[in-house]
Amino acid sequence: MSGESSEPYRHDFPFHDDLFSVFSQKPHGLQGFDPQTAPPFMSFGDYLHGSTTDCSLVAQGLDAPRSQPCDPVVGGDGGENAPAGGADGMTPVTPNFSASSSSTEAAGDEDWGPCKVDQPKQEVQEEEKHAPRGGEGSDKAKKANKPRKKGERQRGPRFAFMTKSEVDHLEDGYRWRKYGQKAVKNSPYPRRVIYLILHLLFPFPSGMHRRILSVLANLCIDHLRSYYRCTAQKCNVKKRVERSCQDPTTVITTYEGQHTHHSPASLRGGGAHMLSPSPTTNLRRSVLLQQVSRGSSSAGYTNPNTYHAGLPPLLPQIHVPDHGLLQDIVPSFTHGNQRR
DNA sequence: CGCCTTTGACCGGCGC
DNA sequence: GCGCCGGTCAAAGGCG
């Protein structure tokens, strides 16, 4: 679950030695928020939730043009279907995509994203949403017994955010099982073709050859989309992970649904293991974040390069002198790789 | 042995 | 009706 793959070269993206360097860049479409010029105690989350902020602008900013087949948007059913995530104070939601966030409301009524332009807005069917997987409750049985109406599709609240990361699957404290992977259409350079060619040229790569192949393969940008499902029983939360076709160093993660359980990591750690915000030099903290990122310890929520389109309003805020607040901290950082 | 990824096949919606 | 496409299934195999 660490994002590692048996696929050759897949995760050998050149690593950014200074992750903070990208923090000075504006995320895609996030015009108006500049960490450098923002007030010292204003985080990106503050920016999103601030009174002077129109979150819809942010959401729209993350939205790619319709003509672009890639780069999904901030999803969400809009305010109507957006549950009051954690409104009861107990309902666990996937970190940082609580639908109670005002930005979810601003997320619009789009589907997964612009890659799916043909899906109409759907209502969430709670009974299906909480139905157990497998066995008699399997999808095939459901399909046979209860076919959906035309245009009807199971949908839940969705939330997407972009993260600068060299790993595709960012740990978020929950356990996920990959159940599918698709090559996004209109990919300019199909990775499989590149692999085939490279393996034909270098049947037995090793050492320097392998590094060269890694670089070559990564230069040939392919666009794969992975589908994950929460492994907890009766939890139908799904997430979709893909790289931005505009910026291959950016991972776009889209969540759908709401967890019906607590994060395994938070249960284990009791929430007493937040990432230390102790002031350090940029370089030193950069290394720390690299470890978090590479060590599969919930990188997505600690990495300041994560450009959240919406944040839970009540998450703890930690002041980081150099870059304002890190608001997207969740108590789930001690658990390491789930496997491998 | 259990959990997970991989991957080809399949399904359903949509446009033409 | 047909083809395209996104999303899902499930068998096979890998890994610790």
A239 touches strand B (CB under 7 A): no
Specify the pTM: 0.48
A152 touches strand B (CB under 7 A): yes
pLDDT digits (tens, 9 = 90+) for A312-339: 322 222 222 233 222 232 222 222 233 3
pLDDT digits (tens, 9 = 90+) for A194-212: 555 666 665 555 555 555 5
- Residue A113 CA and nucleotide B12 C1' are separated, in Å, by 19
A1 touches strand B (CB under 7 A): yes
Strand B bases contacted by the protein (CB, 7 Å): 2-9, 11-15
Residue A155: φ, ψ to 5°: -140, 150
Secondary structure E strands in A244-313: 250-256, 306-308
A176 touches strand B (CB under 7 A): yes
| CA–CA gap between residue A12 and residue A239 (Å, rounded) | 23
Q: Are A303 and A165 in contact (CB under 8 A)?
A: yes
- Residue A224 CA and nucleotide C7 C1' are separated, in Å, by 14
Instruction: Give me the pLDDT at residue A306, please.
Output: 37
- Residue A80 CA and nucleotide B9 C1' are separated, in Å, by 36
- Residue A182 CA and nucleotide B7 C1' are separated, in Å, by 10
A148 touches strand C (CB under 7 A): no
Instruction: Give me the pLDDT at residue A210, please.
Output: 55
A223 touches strand C (CB under 7 A): no
Instruction: Give me the pLDDT at residue A175, please.
Output: 86
Q: Are A101 and A313 in contact (CB under 8 A)?
A: yes
A54 touches strand C (CB under 7 A): no
- Residue A118 CA and nucleotide C9 C1' are separated, in Å, by 22
CA distances from A185 to A4, A13, A190, A191, A242 (A): 23, 21, 9, 12, 12
- Residue A251 CA and nucleotide B11 C1' are separated, in Å, by 28
- Residue A118 CA and nucleotide B16 C1' are separated, in Å, by 14
A66 touches strand B (CB under 7 A): no
Taking residue A130's Cβ as centre, other Cβ atoms within 10 Å add up to 12
Burial grade of A91 (CB within 10 A; 0-12, 13-18, 19 or more): middle
Strand C bases contacted by the protein (CB, 7 Å): 4-10, 14-16
Amino acid letter for position A177: R
A175 touches strand B (CB under 7 A): yes
Question: Which residue positions in chain A have pLDDT lower than 50?
Answer: 1-154, 187-191, 217-221, 269-340
- Residue A196 CA and nucleotide C14 C1' are separated, in Å, by 22
Instruction: Give me the pLDDT at residue A155, please.
Output: 57
- Looking at chain A, how many residues does it have? 340
H-run or E-run covering A230: strand A224-230
CA distances from A90 to A230, A261, A313 (A): 19, 9, 15
Nearest Cα neighbor of A203 from A5, A8, A13 is A8
